[in-house]
Structures are given as structure tokens and as C-alpha cells.
Structure 1
Amino acid sequence: MGNGFTGLQGDSSEVQVDVAIIGAGPAGLTAGYLLSKKGLKVAIIEKDTRYVGGISRTVEHEGYRFDIGGHRFFSKSQQVVDLWNEILPDDFIQRPRMSRIYYEGKFYSYPLRAFEALNNLGIWRSTTCMASYAWTKLFPIKEVKSFEDWTSNQFGKKLYSIFFKTYTEKVWGMPCNEMSADWAAQRIKGLSLGAAVLDGLKRSLGLNKRPNDGMQTKTLLETFRYPRQGPGMMWEAARDKVVAAGSHVLMGHSMKQLASDGQGGWRLSATRAEDGGETVIRAKHAISSAPMRELAARLHPLPATTLEASRLKYRDFLTVALKIQSEDLFPDNWIYIHDSKVRVGRVQNFRSWSPEMVPDESVACVGLEYFCFEGDDLWASSDEDLIKLATKEMDILGLVDPAKVIGGAVVRQEKAYPVYDDEYAANVAAMREELEASHPTLHLVGRNGMHRYNNQDHAMMTAMLTVENIIAGHRVYDIWCVNEDAEYHEAGDEGAQSSIPARTVTEDQAAALNSLREVPTRITGSEAATDTDRAAA
């Protein structure tokens, strides 16, 4: 693997396969694994020289392992669960689920419990929050256009500014008054401040022994499965199985051009990081999980919608991992930082994901996540400066004594989140329509391949259904219906939906195909995103 090749023999620079796959992330490797099982030969190119898994990879530094973003292995789809078990049968551990919000030195439950929040804020601030809430109920914003409008109406301006504004703007890099109200309605539904306060009063009078904190009754998952050495174990195992089946995974290979051969097939050329040479893959089908913008620029002939694709935007982030001479700082998997004094958005505790992520019991290892745009001041900072920044911010937050920080590492992740601005839906729809009409053997899958804000299991589902389409010889499933709702990883039972018999739509697809997750959408003028706009994504 050190020379950038896995499974390709000798010095050959050309390979003939059934399917060429761009990207060795969850979608690309899922497709490669399932196609190989069915007897087809595949070649997967991956520009990273060392790691597979994309944003779901696990990075190792001096024996410490870092999960890029945090990945709970939970899915309502039994088909996805079965595939995880098949690829990695013996390496899952069960882990407790715990996430909290950190604000001004205090911790708050996540999902937010309104009465607890008011109690933690103190009498004066709670009073101002309740006054703000009462004012909003008397004089609500009648024409709700944005995330800010919706959340202020639901909780009052004061609570909105404390618990929603700062973190949301850190993540998406856009003002809350330019984001669609649909995002808030989907992500924060079920929480009623009024119900929480009434519940708290009843408890104080001894009239209610079972608090609900204003939340609708629902079952949140309290534990989740996790590979003992991080999510990268899953995708390294998938890679090995693809190679064992006689197919190829080519590391350190960047897409140079994907050209139609004029007969319905493809010629994929890739530049090797090792020597700058070129590897050519000829295939009947091509599957791309590369960012849609990059694919459009490298297709030959260029699509008529290249200009639309070039306007697609992405949000990047980086993780600064700090090694701290200390016992574990907190039990959470991660903590959301709702504090404008620092730039960090979230802090992971890697040992809480798995003890095997941190080899030294006397050392705590945390990862500070900074959301940014590629090329901005954060992204361009040196690793040394970022480690200094992370150390300083943990001190500002009161979470770490800087003197106990004994080392650090930086992991950058480009194009982590597809941005949903005011024109993304039209741009994606235009390119999709053109490619489906002109190139039926080109298949777009995964988060960036489809410019969809999907989690790992839904990215896998797009690949699973694409494999079914390739085997069938025509489009059986519309994979553009695959998405998720906000509660997908928070509620319900794992594997609650049954498997998908080939070419049959069943309940399993209800979890994947019929649940739309509404994500931040930049609004224009007085119009918020419509259901049609979101569906077009």
C-alpha cells in the first residue's frame, strides 16, 4: 500500500474492470464490496495516500486514534446493520451515548431540556428569558422567514441567542437570519418551553413525579455500537475484502479525467501521488462519490451544466487533537460549545468513544473541531499555531490547564458539509437531469457525490441501491430519494425496518427513501425554501 497501489500487479498503468469507482469512503467502498461479492471486477481510486473511509476514516498519530467528526453506528435499516456485521463481525463494542452543551462554565443536556436550562441560568437570567418568551408569545413574528425567526418565536429571543445562534453560525458560516426556518422546525421540534415551565411548577408542588422537560415522549438511544479502534476499522476491512475478491483499491490516486468512451462506457484517468504518473481504468459503469463540483470540471466532454456545478459550495472543518496529562476530563462523547468567546464548535473525548482510541490511561485525548472554509485564516494556520489556539481556548473555557497539554496533532477535512445556499437545489437538479439523460452508466452516490447532507448509513444506502440498479441493467430505485430525518440517530430501535428484497420497495426504504432531512438553506428576499426546492436536492 505504501506505493499507492492495492491489488494492482506490477507496473501496469491500465486496468479493465466492470465498474470504476471514485472515492474510497463509505459509499464507494460499500458499492465496491457488494459488486465484488456479485462477481464483478471493480477499481476504486482514492486520493488519500494512507486512509480509506473519507470523513469516516480513523487517523492514527503516535498510537492515538482520532475519529473525524464522531460516528455512532446506529441505523434503523436492518440491511445497513447486517452489512456492518458482515464486514466487521467481531470488533464492535457497545458504548454509552452522552452529549451535552457547554455554556459559561455549565453543562446542559443535549437534546436541550428547557427547565434544566432555566434552572442552570440562574434567577435573573431565567427571568429575562421568561420575559422574552412571554413577549414573543404576545407579539410573535408573523412572517417567519428564517432560523432566527422560528427559534425566537419558539423560545424567545433571549434563549435563542444563548443556545442556538452561536453554535449554528459556527457550523454553517452564515448568519441565522439567512438560514431557512425549516432547519429549526426539523431539528428542534418536540421541545416546548411552555410545557417545560408548567412541568417544573408541578414538580415543585409535588404534583408531578415524572418530568418530561417539555419534550414529547420519545425513546432516545442510550447506547450505540462502535468499532473498538474507530470507524476506520470498518472501511479498512471493506477495502481488504474488495482486494481479496480480486478487485483493486488504488491509494494516492486523484481523478484527472472521466471521459465517455462513446459506447456507453468510461475511461477514468488518475494521477498517482507517488510518481506523478497516470493510471487508466476502463469500465462499463462509473460510480462517483467525488464532490459534484469536481466531477463536473473533470468530465469529458464537459457537461452543459458545468457552470451550475461550479457554484456549489462546501463547508470544511479541522480537528485539533490535544494530549493532556490527566484523567478523562468529561464522560461525554462530545460537547457542543455555545460560547462566542472561542472559535471551537465541538469537543470530542476520544476515550469515551472507545478506550482503545487512547493507548495511555494517564493521558486524556480530546479533539477540538473548528468549522471553516478551505483557505480561510483557520485553514491556512500552521499545525503549531492551531495547537496553541486549541490549548488557549480550552483554558478560556476552564476545561484544561495549559500546563498539562503534552502534545497535539491536526487533521484537516475538506468538503465535510455540502452548503445549502439559495441556489444549490437548482444547480444540483440541473446537473442531475443532464447526467441522467446523457450518461445512464454514470452513478452519483454519497454525501458529496450527490451534494446531500447524509450520514454514513444513508451514504451506504445510496451505494446499495446503485448496485441493485447496475445488476438489473436499468434504474430500479431512484437513489435521489435517499435521505434522513433529524431523529434518525436519536430515536427508535436499531434495525427496526426490514430488509429490501431485490427490486421491491418495502418498509426498509421508508427509513431511507421517504424521510427528508431539511438542512440550512440561505433564503432570498421574503421567500424561504419550499418543499419542492428541498425535494429537488
Structure 2
Amino acid sequence: MTQDHHTVAILGAGPAGLTAAYCLQKQDGRYRPVIFEAQHIVGGLSRTECLDGYRFDIGGHRFFTKIPEIEAMWREVLGKEMIRVQRQSRIHYRGKFFDYPLKPLNALRNIGPYETIRILLSLLKWRVRPSPREDTFTQWVINRFGGRLYMHFFHSYTLKVWGTQPQEIRADWAAQRIQNLSLWRAITTSFGGRNKSRSLIEEFDYPRLGPGQMWEETAQQVTKAGGELQLGTEVVKLRRDGMRITEIGTRPRHAGPDAPITWAAASHVISSLDLRTLIRRIDPPPPPEVCAAAEKLRYRDFLIVTLILDHPDPFPDNWIYVHTDVKVGRIQNFRAWSRDMVPDQHTSSIGMEYFCQKGDGLWAMPDDELRALAASELEQLGLAKANTVIKGAVIRQPKAYPVYDNEYQKALSVIRPWLSQLENFQTVGRNGLHRYNNQDHSMLSAMYAVENIRGANHDLWNVNVERSYHEEFEVAKPAAAEPDGPAAAPLRPDPGSALGSQSFPAPGWAKGKDGQVPTARTVR
């Protein structure tokens, strides 16, 4: 790394890191970004993987934002490679499919008039006499939807996603992710009322070759403009002198702990590392109370099994939420997002998403057993026969979602003040802020970090509080406002979104100025 006063070290080549690099070069060109990425592919949670020409996401990513800066970057980088997609999604619950957004006739037919009346009476009860406390997810949801609807649609799915009881999840996760959407609003919208909820949008933008296309192209533009991207390079140390980071220590990702560390200097550091890993790697370490607080932060892991079927479109939806009966939490139909994700239109590509913890039974299951499990569950749900699966791939993603448990706020109240004292260091993105941001807010935190380097004073920890909008829902109303809440299904982590590029051929390597930038990685 060039050791001059205009070098900015960026830790991580996901949406936040690459946005920071892009904006550094775009504004005046004085700063040279050097990006360190442990993986051999860019995009982080918004990357696109590939199996024999079949491109698939690590989850599904809609492109919809109210932030002009983000919209402008999407258009600037991808241009005509961004396509318009019609939304279709459903909920699978107790052997039946519910339209989402809610359609009253469909819901009434599936639930039955007797249970529908009980749901409405429960809603009325909790509206008249709400719980005086809203400390937990359970209390927050029941106050807005009633106990019956919570029992049917929120409890089981939240338990599947997070692997912990909903009453152990803090209410601020619900307030952040589930706002400005009520049962009444969903009903009136389905009858032609005005749709004010961002979760009910009927169409959205999407890169033609998947979300990773955005970051593949962004990385190429960064390297062509003179930036540097070091893939397969893990950050193992951040050396500090007082309250200033002076050097970044790296080694190849698969090198052993005894491998030599390569040291490089930079004037500024922008990190999207998860906070627990970050604190562990600062040398000398922060005070003991900061280190102890970081160890209390928890994360939820994720894996996706992609199945290639010998026939097209076993279902028309972009995705289906699966509440009960099986282990799978959500199912993607990648051809419904973009036909160009599937090279043979006589086949289909289905993503079976599982929420787990690193080291548990699902995570440790051999790939062939996971493929067999996913195929059998696809058949159990009545979507496709297991014997129509012709091949598949498994992708594991650790630390996909920061957990909002009883400890995280207290931990952040210790970590945040100490990190804020570092003179030339900023932390951005979902795991960098331990905030369940969608991609547009992760990108915005990176844009603000770049402005801070130039003298601004943005508080990155409050990015998605100050700016109205989440991809799924708008910013929470104050506690005294009229209770609102989510519709019945999408209580699941949504990795975010992505950008795009020019037309990409089959997976391979796209040459950049200072090295090779990979397109979608081929899974074997």
C-alpha cells in the first residue's frame, strides 16, 4: 500500500466498503482507496454466486429506496442493466398459501370465518387495553396485531429466523423493521386503497444478472480509476498508537495463524467488519470493559441451498415465506427475479434458505445431505418433486444478521464511545454498526463516512434513524404515536440489495487496472 496522506484503507468489499471506495474517487480524486476483502468475490451479503451459469443471490434483494443519493448511484453504475420486476410473494402456513400482501378473501378462505372473528376481537382487545410496556418483540407486536394474529404468523416464524424466543428479542428490532404497516392498511390496500407502505410495493428494480452485478461493476470502476482491491486478504490486526490506527495487518485468508503478517499504513480507515471481530483485532486492545462488551454481541448465521430443476418455474412467486412444518425459512425462484439468472429457460433455479448457527446441526450437515433435505422439503411443501432436481449448491454465510437480544444495547453503549474517540477510524454497514440496516442505509453510512473524511460531522450510528425509510418499512413512529405494525409474513432477515454492470458472460474474471476483479464465483 502506498504510504501517503491520501490513502484510505477500506476493510470489506461489500456494499458499504465499495460505496465508500466509489465515492472517495468520484468526488475529487484526491484519495486512493485500498480495499481488503477476505473472500475471493465482492459484494458481501449482496454477492451473486454461480453454478454452471446459474446465478443466484444470498437471499433476495429488492431495489427500492427513498434516498436520492442511493438511487443516483444505482443508476450511474448500472444504467440500463437495471430491470423492472413485478412482485409476487406468498406465505406458506399450516399447509396453505396466503397471498402477501394480504388479500381478505384469500385469507378468509384459508383461516375460516370463525378464526377470522377471533383475530379481529383479539386485535380490538389489545387496541383498547394495550400492554403498558413494549420492551420485547412480543409485546410490541401484540399491541399492534393482537394475540391471535401474533400466535398464527409472528411467533413461529420469528422463532425459526432467530433461533430464540420472540420475547427475548428487543422491541427496537420490531420498531426498526416493522413500521407504518397495519392490518387495516393492508386490508384497505387490497381493496384498492392508497398504498403507503414500502413493504407492499408491487414492483421494484433489480440488476439483470442479480445483485452481485452491481458490486462487480463498482469494483471494476474503482480499480480502473486507480483504486486497489485485495481479494482473499484477511485483516488480522489493526495497530494503533494512542487513539489513531497507524497500520493494517493482513495475511492470505487460508494461511495459517503462523503465516507472516503484511503491514500497510493509511491515513484513514473505514471498516465494515463486525464489531466483535474488529475489537478482537485492535492492537493494543481497547480497555477490558470494551473487549468484554464486544464478546456479548451475537449474530445469526444463514445458508442457502440452490436446486436446479429439470423444468421451469415450479411456482410463480419471487419468494415464499415458510412458517411451519419444515426447516426451510424462505424459498426463492430466481427466474422470477430475472430470466437472465437462468441460462436454460427449460429449467429453474430455486433457493432454499435456512437460518442457523455456525456449528449447529444444519450448518455442519454435509452438502449432499443438505441438498437432499432441501429437495425433500420442496416436495413436502407441494412445490416440486424431489426427483426433478438435477444439481445443487450450498453456500454458508456466517454473521448474516446482528441479533437484537437483551445484551446488545448495553454492549453498544460501551463500544460506541470508545470507537468514536479513534481519530482516523470509522465503522459502517450492517455489522459494522450492529444495526439491522438494509443495503441503502449501509451505503448511506459509507457515503457519510467519506464526507466525514473531508470535514463533515455525520453521526454514522444514527443513519437509518435520521433518514426516513427502510427497504421494507419506514422509520418507526415515536412510542406515543398510534400503534402500527407489520403484515403477517416478512419477519425475516433480508440481506439487502445490490447494483449492477454491463453484460456479463459466463462466470470468469474481469480485468481491472491493479488486478483481477471476479464476476460471480463459480460453485463446484
TM-score range relative to shorter protein:
0.7 to 0.9
Q: 1 CA distance for matches of 2:410 and 2:130?
A: 32
Q: Name the residue aligned to 1:31.
A: 20
SS at match of 1:246: coil
Which deviates more from structure 2 when the two are superposed, residues 377-386 or residues 170-179? 170-179
Q: Name the residue aligned to 1:272.
A: 252
Q: 2 CA distance for matches of 1:242 and 1:443?
A: 20
Kindly provide the CA deviation profile for residues 393-450 of structure 1, in whole angstroms up to 9, marking residues without a partner as x: 112111111111111111111111111111211212211211222x120110111111
Q: 1 CA distance for matches of 2:295 and 2:122?
A: 43
SS at match of 2:454: helix
Q: 2 CA distance for matches of 1:385 and 1:457?
A: 36
Q: Name the residue aligned to 1:488.
A: 470
2:453 matched to 1:453?
no
Q: 2 CA distance for matches of 1:156 and 1:86?
A: 45
Aligned-pair CA distance for 1:178 = 2.3
Return closer, same or farther for 1:450/1:133 CA change in 2, 3 Å cut-off. Answer: closer
Q: Which amino acid aligns with 2:10?
A: I
Which deviates more from structure 2 when the two are superposed, residues 478-487 or residues 345-354? 478-487
Picking from 38, 49, 67, the partner of 1:47 is 38
Kindly provide the CA deviation profile for residues 446-474 of structure 1, in whole angstroms up to 9, marking residues without a partner as x: 111111110111111011011011022xx
Which deviates more from structure 2 when the two are superposed, residues 102-111 or residues 139-148? 139-148
Kindly provide the CA deviation profile for residues 361-381 of structure 1, in whole angstroms up to 9, marking residues without a partner as x: 111111011111111111111
Decide whether the 8 Å contact of 1:43 with 1:281 is kept in 2: no
Q: Which has the larger radius of gyration?
A: 1
Return closer, same or farther for 1:490/1:290 CA change in 2, 3 Å cut-off. Answer: closer
Decide whether the 8 Å contact of 2:18 with 2:218 is kept in 1: yes
Aligned-pair CA distance for 1:90 = 3.3
2:301 matched to 1:319?
no
Picking from 335, 345, 352, the partner of 1:368 is 352
Picking from 235, 250, 255, the partner of 2:235 is 255
Return closer, same or farther for 1:175/1:263 CA change in 2, 3 Å cut-off. Answer: closer
After TM superposition, the score normalised by the length of structure 1 is: 0.80
Output aligned runs, 1:428-447, within 5 Å.
428-437=412-421, 439-447=422-430
Residue identity over aligned pairs, in percent, reads 44
Return closer, same or farther for 1:180/1:216 CA change in 2, 3 Å cut-off. Answer: farther
Instruction: Point out where structure 1 has 5 or more consecutive residues left out of the alignment.
Output: 1-13, 200-208, 492-510, 519-537
Q: Name the residue aligned to 2:220.
A: 240
Picking from 377, 381, 385, the partner of 2:365 is 381
Decide whether the 8 Å contact of 2:168 with 2:405 is kept in 1: no
Q: 2 CA distance for matches of 1:333 and 1:257?
A: 41
Kindly provide the CA deviation profile for residues 116-137 of structure 1, in whole angstroms up to 9, marking residues without a partner as x: 4223223454455456557767
Q: 2 CA distance for matches of 1:157 and 1:264?
A: 51
Decide whether the 8 Å contact of 1:155 with 1:193 is kept in 2: no
Q: 1 CA distance for matches of 2:109 and 2:3?
A: 65
Q: Name the residue aligned to 1:505.
A: none
Which deviates more from structure 2 when the two are superposed, residues 120-129 or residues 345-354? 120-129
Kindly provide the CA deviation profile for residues 303-337 of structure 1, in whole angstroms up to 9, marking residues without a partner as x: 11111112111111101111111220222221111
Q: 2 CA distance for matches of 1:261 and 1:135?
A: 59
Kindly provide the CA deviation profile for residues 261-284 of structure 1, in whole angstroms up to 9, marking residues without a partner as x: 569452101111366554322101
Return closer, same or farther for 1:15/1:182 CA change in 2, 3 Å cut-off. Answer: closer
Q: Name the residue aligned to 1:16.
A: 3
Return closer, same or farther for 1:24/1:210 CA change in 2, 3 Å cut-off. Answer: closer
Q: 2 CA distance for matches of 1:419 and 1:210?
A: 33
Q: Name the residue aligned to 1:506.
A: none
Return closer, same or farther for 1:378/1:466 CA change in 2, 3 Å cut-off. Answer: same
Return closer, same or farther for 1:156/1:452 CA change in 2, 3 Å cut-off. Answer: closer
Q: 1 CA distance for matches of 2:21 and 2:185?
A: 51
Aligned-pair CA distance for 1:139 = 7.4
**Root-mean-square deviation (CA), in Å?**
2.9
Q: Name the residue aligned to 1:205.
A: none
Q: Name the residue aligned to 1:524.
A: none
Picking from 405, 410, 421, the partner of 1:426 is 410
Decide whether the 8 Å contact of 2:12 with 2:271 is kept in 1: yes
Picking from 73, 78, 82, the partner of 1:83 is 73
Return closer, same or farther for 1:401/1:180 CA change in 2, 3 Å cut-off. Answer: same
Return closer, same or farther for 1:279/1:516 CA change in 2, 3 Å cut-off. Answer: farther
SS at match of 1:241: helix
SS at match of 1:483: helix
Q: Name the residue aligned to 1:476.
A: 457
Kindly provide the CA deviation profile for residues 31-65 of structure 1, in whole angstroms up to 9, marking residues without a partner as x: 1112133231121100002x101001001111111
Q: Which amino acid aligns with 1:107?
A: F
Aligned-pair CA distance for 1:211 = 2.5
SS at match of 1:89: helix
Q: Name the residue aligned to 2:55.
A: 65
Output aligned runs, 1:133-282, within 5 Å.
145-184=135-174, 187=178, 189-192=180-183, 211=191, 220-261=200-241, 264-273=244-253, 276-282=259-265
Aligned-pair CA distance for 1:240 = 1.0
Which deviates more from structure 2 when the two are superposed, residues 444-453 or residues 165-174? 165-174
Which deviates more from structure 2 when the two are superposed, residues 180-189 or residues 133-142? 133-142
Q: 2 CA distance for matches of 1:433 and 1:374?
A: 30
Aligned-pair CA distance for 1:156 = 4.2
Return closer, same or farther for 1:373/1:58 CA change in 2, 3 Å cut-off. Answer: same
After TM superposition, the score normalised by the length of structure 2 is: 0.82
Decide whether the 8 Å contact of 2:35 with 2:228 is kept in 1: yes
Aligned-pair CA distance for 1:115 = 5.6
Q: Which amino acid aligns with 1:461?
A: L
Q: Which amino acid aligns with 1:102?
A: H
Return closer, same or farther for 1:144/1:21 CA change in 2, 3 Å cut-off. Answer: closer
Q: 2 CA distance for matches of 1:274 and 1:420?
A: 31
Output aligned runs, 1:327-406, within 5 Å.
327-339=312-324, 341-406=325-390
Return closer, same or farther for 1:93/1:435 CA change in 2, 3 Å cut-off. Answer: same
